[in-house]
Amino acid sequence: MAKEIVVSGIRPTGNLHLGNYMGAVTNFVKMQYDYTCYFFIADYHSLTTHPNPADLHNNVRQVLIEYLACGLNPDACTLYIQSDLPQIPELYMMLNMHAYKGELERVASFKEKARTQPDNLNAGLLTYPVLMAADILIHKAGKVPVGKDQEQHLEMARTFGNRFNRIYEKEIFPEPYAFNYGNNLIKIPGLQGGSKMSKSDGDANVISLINTPEQIRKKMSKAVTETGPLMVDSIPSEAVQNLFNLMKIVSTDEKLSHYTKAYANCSIRYGDLKKDIAEDLINFLSPIREKITLLQADNKLLAKVVKQGREKAQESAANTLKECREVIGFKSFL
């Protein structure tokens, strides 16, 4: 039986951090061997916010490098740059003809934009879910590994795909659904007390894959802890529990149990705990950081990967688009 088709896009907004890596990216690395996966860098989507050309290119390049360094294998999956597929805007245009203004205006992500930047709303923002639907439908994907925040966009993708099938009386598109691999998404806490490592809480909250050992030591030394424990066997605050959770990922079981015992009997020294985590993080991330450095200097390899991805993705996209053009009534005169 043919493997199920998975599609996912990532917006090129800067460097990946440990949370991205342990969450989405390690899942992609597993999935690429179990499914037919299309992973792309969503640079068309970036245009809604008018990035400057040099930044856009650098961000795309950096995401590509970091994906490869994390273990995405261009021979196992199809790894490509969205703007290498002219078939995506063509399908987007077709889908737009059957996307209603009212339903697009009701999308939560658009309503949020309309609220926060009422004087800066372009058609690309309004039709963002249509472009995302085109990304998914162009490969006839049934599975889309995304977080909860993308659920509504996926529902729209199903609506647009079903509508197209119905209007043109052909089952071209399957229904795409959100997909969480094995239900064991690992969530990395932030360093400043939040339950999730996220760049929106500031750079001090995240460990980036490109952070140097010095930067990691500095960030860890500033990680939030608590004044306690004041009594034996008290329950750790969220900030301290976050540090234990971080330890679970990068440190040995012995170390973790040493510090949880020290917490329980009130002998814990947070300075030592944070130094230990910093060193373990450095060891954990150094192979990735070294690969990133190598790839940054290897334009030849990057060009080869991009070309390979473009060819594989275009083949799939061109097949779908051919079907769409046929049912619409675009017929050749030649």
Instruction: Identify which of 163, 183, 181, 180 has the alpha carbon closest to the alpha carbon of residue 172.
Output: 163
Nearest-angstrom CA–CA distance, 51 and 122: 14
As measured in angstroms, the least distance from the Cβ of 132 to ligand TRP is: 4
Among 18, 72, 132, 313, binds ligand TRP (CB under 6 A): 132
Among 24, 68, 107, 146, binds ligand TRP (CB under 6 A): 146
Among 136, 288, 295, 306, binds ligand TRP (CB under 6 A): 136
Among 42, 63, 72, 268, binds ligand TRP (CB under 6 A): 42
Count of CA atoms in the C-beta half-sphere (13 A) of 64: 28
Nearest residue to ligand TRP, scored by beta-carbon proximity: 9
Stretch that binds ligand TRP, among 2-10, 91-99, 166-174, 177-185 (CB under 6 A): 2-10
User: Can residue 9 be called a binding residue for ligand TRP (CB under 6 A)?
Assistant: yes
Q: Clarify whether 199 is annotated catalytic.
A: yes
Nearest-angstrom CA–CA distance, 76 and 83: 21
Largest CA distance in the chain: 85
Extended beta strands in the chain, E state? 5-10, 36-41, 78-81, 143-144, 177-178
User: Can residue 11 be called a binding residue for ligand TRP (CB under 6 A)?
Assistant: yes
Q: Residue with structure tokens 């196992």? A: 76
User: Can residue 134 be called a binding residue for ligand TRP (CB under 6 A)?
Assistant: no
Q: Clarify whether 101 is annotated catalytic.
A: no
- Rounded to 10 deg, the angle between the 253-264 and 270-296 helix axes is 150
Q: Clarify whether 300 is annotated catalytic.
A: no
Site for ligand TRP, rule CB under 6 A? 7-9, 11, 42, 45, 132, 135-136, 144, 146, 150, 153
* Active-site residue set: 113, 196, 199
